[in-house]
Structure 1
Amino acid sequence: MSNRRQNQRNGRGARGTSSELMSRRIPFLGTVRLEVERPAKKSKARSGKGGGQKAERYRDRLWGRVAYWSVVCGVWMGVGFGGLILYYALTLPSTDNLWDIDTTPSVTVVAADGTPIVTRGGRHSAAIGLAELPAYLGDAVVAIEDHRFYSHFGIDPIGLVRAAVVNLKAGGVVQGGSTLTQQLAKNIFLTHERTFDRKLREALLALWLEAKFTKDEILTLYLNRVYLGGGAYGVEAASYRYFGKSARDLTLPEAAMIAGLLKAPSRYAPTANLERAQARAATVLAVMVREGFLDYGDGQWAFNHPATLAGAARAPSSRYFADWVVDRLPGYAGRPNSSLMVQTTLDSDLQRVAEKIIEAALARNEQALGVTQAAMVVMTPDGAVRAMVGGRNYQQSQYNRAAYAQRQPGSAFKPVVYLAAMERGLTPDTLRVDAPVVVDGWAPGNYSGTFNGIMSLTEALAKSVNTIAVQISEEVGRDAVIRSARRLGFRGRMRPHPSIALGTFEVTLLELTSAYAAFANGGASVIPHGIDSVETISGSLLYRRRGSGVGAIMSPQTLGMMNHMLSETMRTGTGRRAAIAGRPSGGKTGTSQDFRDAWFVGYTADLVVGVWVGNDDGAPMKSVTGGGLPARIWHDFMEQTQSQVQVSALPGEYRRVETATGSIGTWPFDDNSRASQNEDDDEPGFFGRLFGFSGSASGRELEGRGIPRPGRNSWH
């Protein structure tokens, strides 16, 4: 025994000279004994040299060190990897709410008749079991996303190698190797960032899911939680979103289309591009046949009968209006944690006609007139928006030109100037001279390039004479014009420059249209609105609209004079192309400098409609004026929508006087007249500052007077 121990101390093994038993103490791990094989030593008789023994001993020591450090590194690598796995396992997210489907609040916007317009935010449905779904829906998803789903353990090594080869050949990431289980882990628990940390957590979660659930349960979770475009989460919500029915009733072509959305939900959504979605569905069908999930005959039938949209997805494209409503929603209902149902003022029929007419007008005139965009706002005289077209194509551009684009209104602003004049004692029959005018070195001209001498204010507004509009603005005062504009609802920056009479500041189409509503409703300012009520999905009422504006802003006499002049503009002036036979109406054209913008805003007792045409880049059109294309669009819309509506007179009444009022010898021929007029203006009081009233006749006329609205009691 003593010899054996001595041999062990000397590093010699019990098996003779062909092996060694080595002992080493490793910190924290204890003593490790290793038996190392070595080549048999050559006898001295054969070698005859002492140097050979030294070389042999050196090789022995080298092999021993290699073996020793290999074991040490391997042990510590194992410990480190185990610790890393343990760390990630302990920091994985909680899976307690794995089956809680409806977790994100949504906003559903519906038209006045209850037709759904759009759902924004998370759109989830109740969980639906795999056994309740048609078998080909699950087969389509497995075939296109992970055809080895039922054979791998949550991670697919073959798929990873295939994806790596494809990506290497392409020189970039063009294909992923994630399984359905990994996708489920990522969709529910993780973010979509591309980092090693996230991929490792995804793999661990996939293994955990495979250990805890059956394959069918994993597929059920996936089908109920995956995002499928259009704000829809899960196949049930997507089925209602695109086809108007439960996923239980999907046909094979519809199931293939839904499975095709998984690659890129926004790109392949049928509401974005139906032909692209159908082509993607055809790819899904081909893969199903190739992988044995579908026989050739059924695949060919489904290919020949592609799915089409139905239900809410086929509703009129009212997205511009929906965007505007959702943007304003927090001011009405705050930010509740539950899903909301928003009842709006939108009339689906009017919206459909508006879109059709805008598109047809642009298609006919784009090349000839150099116009590429248009917008329209339709509202009732109380300010309820019934239709809104924010541009030619929402899919190509979501920018709402009706609600947000700031453009110069040109002569469409002139009624505000004349309103200020009527409130200060002038009448439609007041005479002024169309002649050259110079104000602060600025000399406005007329569109015609000529001057026509003496004319009434009615004729001057009807023919959109610039010189007289500037004269009137200077007579009553630019500040008075601005106060009138504020009362009508203009909110933008307005400088008291002489050119303000010609609309050289910027407004939105929605703003301009709502200002004209005061002439249609009996003289009351309105606030344009699109929300009637807001309630939670459980039925709790959060908001219901009451009232329509700040009240009357002009007297019945002033209203009658304004409607007289604006009606004449439709009969004999620049708006005659918009006139509707047998139906009282008023309106005004507008054209900005260099034909960059053209407007027409008109109204009857039932509707107020504003139209704008132009180009997004501000490029000039080919001599397009407000009395041209915008007036024709307005006329076509009113003809198609109002032919069956009872004819009603415009509110207010004006009786012409026998003798024209006003002296021709006033400004610009006598500067003292303007100075004395400004000196007589009273300082506005509290309500004047609040609503823009001056201390002159307009404010005193309305003081303490309740002005009823003539015509219809409501506009629905």
Structure 2
Amino acid sequence: MARGKKRSKQSGPVRKWFSRIVKTGFVVGLMGLIALIVAVAVIRSSLPGYEDLKSSPNGQMIRVLDVNGRELFSMGPSYGQWLDYEDIPQVMIDAMVAVEDRRYESHLGVDPIGIARSIKVRLERGRWAQGGSTITQQLARNIFLNNSRTFGRKGREIMLALAMESKFSKEQILELYLNKVYYGGGAYGIDAASRRFFAHGAKELSLAEAAIIAGLVKAPSRYSPTADAQAAIDRATVVLRVMQDAGAITAAQAAETEPTAVKMAPEPRQNSVRYFTDWALPQLDLLIDETIEPIEVWTTLDLDMQRAATNAIQTGVPAGAQGALVAIDRDGAVRAMVGGTDYVTSNYNRATQAVRQPGSAWKIFVYMAALEAGYTPNDMVTDQPIKIGNWTPRNSGGNYAGDISLRSAFAYSKNTVAAAIGNDIGTSTVANMARRFGISTTIDVNPSMVLGTSDVRLVEMTRAFASINAKGIAITPYAITKVSTMDGNVLYQNKFDGSRVLVDPWVAAGITDLMQTAVNVGTGRAANIGRPVAGKTGTTSSNKDGWFLGFSSGLTTGVWMGRDDAKPVRGLQGGRAPAAAFAAFMKVAVAKRKIEKFDTELLLPDWQLEPDEEELFGAPEDGIYVDENGMPIETGQGLEYDMEGGEADDGPPQLDQGWIDSVLGRGEPDEPEAAPPARKTPPGRPESPDQPNAPVSLLPRPANE
């Protein structure tokens, strides 16, 4: 009895202290809860509204696409198109919830079980090895906090998560999370990630693709398909297993889903395409008002043509030299642009920035001015020594052909004839023609300017040839066809203006006739591609620059080669490497286009002429037999010529206009040539009514004339 009383006396104080602890704990807990509620309420009141949270962070994303919608280049953080909750594929929602926050629907923003597990692992391993953050916590950290792993930051993260859960619905939080979290590769949000890794929007995500994206959140840099495709696939397999465990998919669905079968988007080009994008993107400032929305820029570039252009330049440029190529479609759309042999080594764009002498390629302006002044391709002129002031132009080797047609003089790029024409019509007239066709650089009007001594840009020369191809209509090169927001709102749409006429159609037809002859039997024969081509070579003194510009099937291409320091390049002539690069590119670029004949027929020039410095194959016996497409054919025999340029007695029939007409199916070989059409006689040139094609002297006019 005494012992019972003693035990009762001893346990009394224990119960008393325990009761006090419980009461104190309850009060403290209650006060803490009240403080937490107050703090959450305060934070909740300071949170931005839902629409404000939807806005993208600073930094506009610009996604640049080629003409077929393939990504060329992306700059700035990529946010893609914002997807409302109801537009997000269910497989994406299920994958993300299963792998990141399985109890998402049941907690209030914080998962006590997950936090306890995370702390346990932290105490066992001495470091944070397992996350206990819910989707809401991750969203709070992404929007408001940094990634430092401290207890203070974790506390703020929890408070923010509770506040967000009290202010926004579960669907709104998931919508924010899936549209704003970083998934690697510069992509924020599932739409940007889908476009970055799979080349399509998030609305079309498959189960395997959703598993890959869901697996990226844990470690975007480690599991990014662009960094380690196998790691991304392995992680996606884990996500599928977790989805099955969570009941989001069946075992059969998990078994039949193969992440290895997912087709990844090709990596954006970082080499020659950048020459084009560096030129194109600054134009946005002139096309659209400033915007912070992510935009897509649809360009004119054709990636297949760009690859062909890059290959043509990289394989065709002589050792130690550089090269550039521009291809312009019939409406001015730039389909390919290569500014050098390697962008990584040198981002200097020789297609748009470099100014170099065009050599004989400049003669298109000389001859167009002559045609406009009254010359015709069939006119006979005299190739002879000439002196204009103190300048004495000469042909290569000092050879002069005497009486030849204007067509022959152009085809074989006769310097003396060009000089005489310039003296006859005036160099200022030639300069005016060049200005009309888009040459913006300084033009010298000295007599020697007719031989291409004024510096020009490749893109402007190509533009001039494109305008000739358009029958004298002004063509303006452009790079951007459309600019739109990610949701399809069009901010800019290009419209072709074909209203400005530079020259009459017959002038454009005449120069096209001359250029077609230059390619078929003149200095540009290496540019022949088996379909009608019109073009012109250009070579400057000491072979410092080589040019070829021409067009076929609606596509105009200009090629330049040379050294950046303007030193001579051995063997560099317009009719060699540049013409060959033109042909290599055009064979690919126009392969799927319809063969188009020019408005004028090819007429054979006087093939017996001695070639000038731009002639590359020697005597005209090389490749003279052609098929119906103008391509050389094997005959097993060749023509032989004596030292004077005449045909050997035992050779085949002479290659004359009648012969080529018969090959091309234009009539009988012995059919007489039609009389040339009447033409206006230019000032200072004698009329010859009895001999309409009589040679015309183009010697300098007297000083007092």
Counterpart for residue 83 of structure 2: 126
**Alpha-carbon distance in structure 2 between the residues aligned to 1:264 and 1:460:** 66
Residue 415 (structure 1) shift: 0.7
Matches within 5 A, 1:312-351: 321=276, 324-335=279-290, 345=300, 351=302
Residue 559 (structure 1) shift: 2.8
CA offsets per residue over residues 24-74 of structure 1, 9 Å max, x none? xxxxxxxxxxxxxxxxxxxxxxxxxxxxxxxxxxxxxxxxxxxxxxxxxxx
Letter aligned with residue 246 of structure 1: A
Equivalent of 2:408 in 443, 450, 459: 459
Counterpart for residue 202 of structure 2: 246
CA offsets per residue over residues 152-194 of structure 1, 9 Å max, x none? 69x99999xx999xxxxxxxxxxxxx9999996686458x9x9
Instruction: Mark the CA change 1:96 to 1:280 in structure 2 (over 3 Å): closer, same or farther.
Output: same
Counterpart for residue 48 of structure 1: none
Residue 639 (structure 1) shift: 3.6
Equivalent of 1:212 in 163, 169, 182: 163
**Alpha-carbon distance in structure 2 between the residues aligned to 1:227 and 1:388:** 34
Equivalent of 1:602 in 550, 574, 585: 550
What is the SS of the residue equivalent to 1:123? Answer: coil
Give the paired residue count. 550
Instruction: Mark the CA change 1:138 to 1:505 in structure 2 (over 3 Å): closer, same or farther.
Output: farther
**Alpha-carbon distance in structure 2 between the residues aligned to 1:150 and 1:656:** 97
Counterpart for residue 101 of structure 1: 54
Equivalent of 1:355 in 306, 321, 325: 306
Counterpart for residue 512 of structure 1: 461
Residue 624 (structure 1) shift: 3.0
Instruction: Mark the CA change 1:228 to 1:602 in structure 2 (over 3 Å): closer, same or farther.
Output: farther
What is the SS of the residue equivalent to 2:373? Answer: coil
1:577 and 2:529 correspond: no
Contact kept in structure 1, 2:465 and 2:550, CA below 8 Å? yes
Matches within 5 A, 1:284-323: 305=260, 308-310=263-265, 321=276
What is the SS of the residue equivalent to 1:634? Answer: helix
Instruction: Mark the CA change 1:317 to 1:157 in structure 2 (over 3 Å): closer, same or farther.
Output: farther
Q: Once the two structures are aligned, what percentage of the paired residues are identical?
A: 31
Instruction: Mark the CA change 1:579 to 1:234 in structure 2 (over 3 Å): closer, same or farther.
Output: same
Equivalent of 1:278 in 221, 229, 244: 229
1:376 and 2:323 correspond: no
**Alpha-carbon distance in structure 1 between the residues aligned to 2:138 and 2:545:** 50
**Alpha-carbon distance in structure 2 between the residues aligned to 1:100 and 1:326:** 29
Counterpart for residue 632 of structure 1: 580
Counterpart for residue 368 of structure 2: 419
Residue 360 (structure 1) shift: 3.7
**Alpha-carbon distance in structure 2 between the residues aligned to 1:163 and 1:473:** 88
What is the SS of the residue equivalent to 1:419? Answer: helix
Residue 124 (structure 1) shift: 3.8
CA offsets per residue over residues 636-669 of structure 1, 9 Å max, x none? 4444425661433236999467424532432xxx
TM-score (norm 1): 0.59
**Alpha-carbon distance in structure 1 between the residues aligned to 2:409 and 2:487:** 58
Contact kept in structure 2, 1:377 and 1:387, CA below 8 Å? yes
What is the SS of the residue equivalent to 2:54? Answer: coil
**Alpha-carbon distance in structure 1 between the residues aligned to 2:205 and 2:220:** 24
Matches within 5 A, 1:502-541: 502-532=451-481
Residue 285 (structure 1) shift: 8.2
Contact kept in structure 2, 1:156 and 1:179, CA below 8 Å? no
Letter aligned with residue 537 of structure 2: T
Letter aligned with residue 358 of structure 1: A
Residue 564 (structure 1) shift: 2.4
CA offsets per residue over residues 682-709 of structure 1, 9 Å max, x none? xxxxxxxxxxxxxxxxxxxxxxxxxxxx
What is the SS of the residue equivalent to 1:473? Answer: helix
Equivalent of 2:443 in 477, 486, 494: 494
Instruction: Mark the CA change 1:664 to 1:398 in structure 2 (over 3 Å): closer, same or farther.
Output: closer
Contact kept in structure 2, 1:354 and 1:376, CA below 8 Å? no
**Alpha-carbon distance in structure 1 between the residues aligned to 2:602 and 2:327:** 27
Letter aligned with residue 123 of structure 1: G
1:555 and 2:504 correspond: yes
**Alpha-carbon distance in structure 1 between the residues aligned to 2:112 and 2:430:** 73
Which segment is superposed worse, 566-575 or 623-632? Answer: 623-632
Which segment is superposed worse, 568-577 or 422-431? Answer: 422-431
Letter aligned with residue 659 of structure 1: N
CA offsets per residue over residues 330-361 of structure 1, 9 Å max, x none? 43333356665666555xxxx34423433443
CA offsets per residue over residues 89-124 of structure 1, 9 Å max, x none? 99x996435874354776666666666766666534
**Alpha-carbon distance in structure 1 between the residues aligned to 2:592 and 2:188:** 44
Residue 515 (structure 1) shift: 0.7
What is the SS of the residue equivalent to 1:524? Answer: coil
What is the SS of the residue equivalent to 1:599? Answer: strand
What is the SS of the residue equivalent to 1:626? Answer: coil
Contact kept in structure 2, 1:487 and 1:553, CA below 8 Å? yes
Counterpart for residue 233 of structure 1: 188
Instruction: Mark the CA change 1:389 to 1:182 in structure 2 (over 3 Å): closer, same or farther.
Output: farther
Question: Which structure has the bigger radius of gyration?
Answer: 1
**Alpha-carbon distance in structure 2 between the residues aligned to 1:370 and 1:151:** 64
Counterpart for residue 610 of structure 2: none
What is the SS of the residue equivalent to 1:552? Answer: coil
**Alpha-carbon distance in structure 1 between the residues aligned to 2:695 and 2:261:** 73
Counterpart for residue 431 of structure 1: 381
TM-score (norm 2): 0.60
**Alpha-carbon distance in structure 2 between the residues aligned to 1:149 and 1:464:** 87
Letter aligned with residue 483 of structure 1: N
RMSD: 5.9
**Alpha-carbon distance in structure 1 between the residues aligned to 2:112 and 2:381:** 87
Contact kept in structure 1, 2:380 and 2:405, CA below 8 Å? yes
Could you tell me which runs of 5 or more consecutive residues in structure 2 were left unpaired when the two chains were aligned. 1-38, 102-110, 128-132, 246-253, 604-675, 679-691
**Alpha-carbon distance in structure 2 between the residues aligned to 1:379 and 1:399:** 24
Instruction: Mark the CA change 1:404 to 1:519 in structure 2 (over 3 Å): closer, same or farther.
Output: same
**Alpha-carbon distance in structure 2 between the residues aligned to 1:612 and 1:560:** 25
Equivalent of 2:699 in 661, 665, 668: 665
Counterpart for residue 7 of structure 2: none
**Alpha-carbon distance in structure 2 between the residues aligned to 1:648 and 1:326:** 36
Contact kept in structure 1, 2:313 and 2:325, CA below 8 Å? no
**Alpha-carbon distance in structure 2 between the residues aligned to 1:598 and 1:577:** 13
Instruction: Mark the CA change 1:453 to 1:377 in structure 2 (over 3 Å): closer, same or farther.
Output: same
Residue 528 (structure 1) shift: 2.1
**Alpha-carbon distance in structure 2 between the residues aligned to 1:221 and 1:542:** 26
**Alpha-carbon distance in structure 1 between the residues aligned to 2:415 and 2:218:** 60
Counterpart for residue 72 of structure 1: none
Instruction: Mark the CA change 1:540 to 1:134 in structure 2 (over 3 Å): closer, same or farther.
Output: closer
**Alpha-carbon distance in structure 2 between the residues aligned to 1:596 and 1:184:** 61
Residue 588 (structure 1) shift: 0.7
Contact kept in structure 2, 1:365 and 1:371, CA below 8 Å? no
Residue 439 (structure 1) shift: 6.1
